[in-house]
């Protein structure tokens, strides 16, 4: 039985969660070294990889993309009285 924390995280994105080995991920992600880098978090997914993962696992692409980076907030400039 899954823990409550595991239930809130959603589906398991790892190959093990789908009965796949790292070798099974090579056609989707490219090379064995790229599979390793992606799974360890050293490299991000390219758009081509996202498209292949989306097609293979039938998940929305936004689940595979990192959240957008926030733009730095601009501080109002202070005017100095002359």
Interval 3-40: pLDDT, tens: 444 433 444 455 666 788 899 999 999 999 999 999 99
Residue 43, exposed/middle/buried by CB under 10 A (0-12, 13-18, 19+)? middle
What is the pTM (predicted TM-score) of this model?
0.61
Backbone φ and ψ of 63, nearest 5°: -75, -20
Domain ranges (residues) in the chain: 14-63
Q: Are 63 and 53 in contact (CB under 8 A)?
A: no
- Give the sign of the dihedral formed by CA 41, CA 50, CA 65, CA 6: negative
Residues 6+ apart with CB under 8 A from 59: 11, 53
- pLDDT-derived band at 73, boundaries 50, 70, 90: confident
- 50-59 pLDDT tens trace: 999 999 989 8
CATH number listed for the domain at residues 14-63: 1.10.260.40
């Amino acid at each position: 039985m899954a823990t409550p924390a595991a239930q809130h995280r959603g589906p398991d994105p790892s190959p093990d969660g789908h009965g796949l080995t790292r070798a099974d991920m090579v056609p989707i992600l490219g090379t064995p070294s790229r599979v390793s880098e992606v799974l360890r978090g050293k490299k991000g997914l390219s758009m081509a990889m996202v498209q292949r993962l989306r097609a293979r696992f039938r998940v929305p692409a936004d689940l595979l993309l990192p959240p957008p980076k926030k733009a730095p907030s601009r501080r109002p400039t202070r005017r100095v009285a002359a």
